[in-house]
């Protein structure tokens, strides 16, 4: 379970202060597929970064499975991320020198799993996202949508219990977007993975149990969707 309690995030740049999150509270149950929506600048990525332990709130706290994750040291947070979380970055964050499959497995190798085993699993996941014929391509040899799918493959390769995805379909055509969302749905249903996904597309709603809509750093509304009823 993910619990956010009065989470704020203030960015300070010299004398300029941006209050990106102004006190956001919610609970996400295990196995929920939640959409985060809201206008540009409303705080969606900031919130996802905090849930993904990539950033710390200015005040408030986040509990994951009852654990106050802000209290973990940087090293403990890294281990927590490696073992429990998958994250699809808005800008993919691929390593340009590595091939698609190396990008997919590089963080998993840090967990001490055998390279042979992970090369097999990496190839399997790349096939699942439709890139079975691109596994040895480097970033510069992949289209934007293909890079995005490599980033998705990397996030799901470990079957994380929580998948956080920042506009994972932003650069994909509607057919590929649908296949990615179907894959997320399958992970959500078969493995009871909790998925929190930032989205701008109205039609994505059919996949969500619930939508948390942000406005100016606050929760504007929370509502159940068809998949959650
Ligand atoms: N590192 C940063 N330093 C300063 N201000 C930031 C930083 N990151 C985000 N902001 C500001 O915080 C606010 C929220 O940004 P955030 O990226 O969370 O919004 P968003 O809802 O994800 O937007 P988008 O849909 O455009 O990606 C914005 O006003 C943004 O300019």
Ordered per-residue pLDDT tens for the chain, 229 residues: 999 999 999 999 899 999 999 999 999 999 999 999 999 999 999 999 999 999 999 999 999 999 999 889 999 999 899 889 999 998 899 999 999 999 999 887 777 778 888 899 999 999 999 999 999 999 999 998 899 999 999 999 989 999 999 999 988 888 888 988 998 998 899 889 999 999 988 889 999 999 999 999 999 999 998 776 6
Assess contact for 81 and 53: CB atoms under 8 A. Answer: yes
Please state the domain count of the chain: 1
Q: How far is CA 69 from CA 75, 77, 111, 156, 225, in A?
A: 12, 7, 20, 21, 29
Assess contact for 225 and 209: CB atoms under 8 A. Answer: yes
Q: What is the distance between the alpha carbons of residues 46 and 206, in angstroms, rounded to a whole number?
A: 24
Taking every pair of C-alpha atoms in the chain, what is the biggest distance, in angstroms? 52
Query: What does the radius of gyration of the chain's CA atoms come to, in whole angstroms?
Result: 17
Strand order in the sheet with 16-28: 16-28, 2-13, 59-64, 67-68
- pTM equals 0.93
CATH of the domain at 45: 3.40.50.300
Q: Kindly state the tokens that stand for 49.
A: 């970064």
Kindly give the number of the ligand 1 atom that is closest to the alpha carbon of 198.
22
Residues of the domain holding 213: 2-228
Nearest CA to ligand 1 atom 3: 11
Mutate to test the pocket of ligand 1, among 7, 10, 11 (most ligand atoms within 8 A of CB): 11
Q: Kindly state the tokens that stand for 30.
A: 């295990």
Mutate to test the pocket of ligand 1, among 14, 16, 18 (most ligand atoms within 8 A of CB): 18
- Please report how many Cα atoms fall inside a 13 Å half-sphere around the Cα of residue 4, on the Cβ side: 25
Q: What is the distance between the alpha carbons of residues 49 and 22, in angstroms, rounded to a whole number?
A: 15
């Amino acid at each position: 379970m993910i619990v956010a309690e009065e989470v704020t995030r203030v960015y300070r740049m010299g004398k300029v202060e941006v209050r990106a999150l102004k006190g956001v509270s919610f609970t996400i149950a295990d196995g929920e597929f939640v959409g985060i929506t809201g206008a540009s600048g409303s705080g969606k990525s900031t919130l996802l970064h905090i849930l993904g332990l990539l950033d710390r709130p200015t005040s408030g706290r986040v509990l994951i499975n009852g654990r106050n994750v802000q209290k973990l040291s940087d090293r403990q947070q890294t281990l927590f991320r490696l073992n429990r979380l998958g994250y699809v970055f808005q800008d993919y964050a691929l390593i340009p020198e590595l091939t698609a499959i190396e990008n997919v497995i590089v963080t998993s190798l840090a967990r001490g799993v055998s390279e042979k085993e992970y090369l097999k699993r990496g190839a399997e996941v790349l096939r699942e996202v439709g890139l079975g014929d691109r596994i040895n391509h480097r970033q510069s040899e992949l289209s934007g949508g293909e890079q995005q799918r490599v980033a998705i493959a990397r996030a799901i390769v470990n079957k994380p219990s929580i998948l956080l995805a920042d506009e994972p379909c932003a650069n994909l055509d509607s057919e590929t977007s649908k296949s990615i969302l179907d894959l997320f749905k399958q992970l959500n249903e078969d493995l009871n993975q909790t998925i929190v996904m930032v989205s701008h597309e109205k039609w994505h709603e059919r996949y969500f149990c619930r939508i948390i809509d942000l406005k100016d750093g606050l929760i504007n509304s929370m509502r159940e969707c068809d998949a959650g009823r």
